Amino acid sequence: MAKDKAGTIEVKSFGTHHVITQPNPLRKMLLRVPESDLDDPVGRAEKALAGLSGEFKEWMTIEADRLSAAHAAVMREGFNDKTREELFRAAHDIKGDAATFGYPSAAAAAESLCRIIEHAPDLGAVPQQLIAHHINAVQAIVRNRTKLDTAVVAGVLSKQLRGIADEFLTHANRDRPEHLEAILAPSIAPGE
């Protein structure tokens, strides 16, 4: 094996593959410092995030309204590529963002809706009420969040929705093992 040279990429070729090692271009960004000089970038970032929290309610309202608008389009036009995509995208954004914004139950309800859109064999055959309940739940959780006693109710509501959605999906996918496996697989999302 040839000796590494600075600034060069080393390629080892094998029967079916090449292993390419390049000098780490980011190594110079790594500084060795005494423990006493270590600052706390994570703590600093958490504080900065907390500084944004005053805007979270407004952001969440915008996201929830986008979801309702997407649902209204589905009700008007039915499911087609465009309406399906927008409903999924709106729900998917809430699934990813809502917990950061302080609305974990809205994230859970949106995740349940995403699973319906992703795994229902025929979206036209999904009971309209099941989808509507998810939209209404997200709206209710977002609008009523300031009431302390609603947090527990929101958690129970989203769990019940998920239970009903999962029951529907499990039955609807009983002959589609690859979907069934995905439905029953545990989430890898970090906990609340």
Partner 1 sequence: MYRIDFNKLRFLICDDNPHMRRILRTLLHSFGAREVYESEDGATALEMYTHYVPDIVITDWSMPIFDGLELAQMIRQPESKGNPYAPIIMLTGHSEKRRVTVARDAGVTEFLAKPISAKGLYQRIMNVVANPRPFIKTKTYFGPDRRRNTTNTYIGPERRGSGEVEVLQQPSLLEKARSTI
Provide the angle, in degrees to the nearest 10, between the axes of the packed helices 81-97 and 56-77: 160
Strand residues in 34-170 grouped as ranges (E):
none
The Cα–Cα gap between 63 and 58 comes to 9
- Which span (9-17, 121-129, 132-140, 157-165) binds partner 1, by CB under 8 A? 9-17
The Cα–Cα gap between 152 and 163 comes to 17
- Largest separation between any pair of C-alpha atoms in the chain: 68
Q: Which residue number, 59 or 79, has a Cβ lying nearer to partner 1?
A: 59
- Which span (69-77, 126-134, 150-158, 180-188) binds partner 1, by CB under 8 A? 180-188
User: How many other CB atoms sit within 10 Å of the CB of residue 161?
Assistant: 23
Smallest separation, CB 163 to partner 1 (Å): 18
Binding mask 17-36 for partner 1 (x = CB under 8 A): xxxxxxxxxxxxxxxxxxx-
Say whether residue 61 binds partner 1 (CB under 8 A). no
The Cα–Cα gap between 73 and 83 comes to 6
Where along the sequence are the contacts to partner 1 (CB under 8 A)?
Answer: 1-2, 5, 7-35, 38-39, 41-49, 51-52, 59, 62-63, 88-89, 92-93, 95-101, 104, 107, 111, 114, 182, 185-190
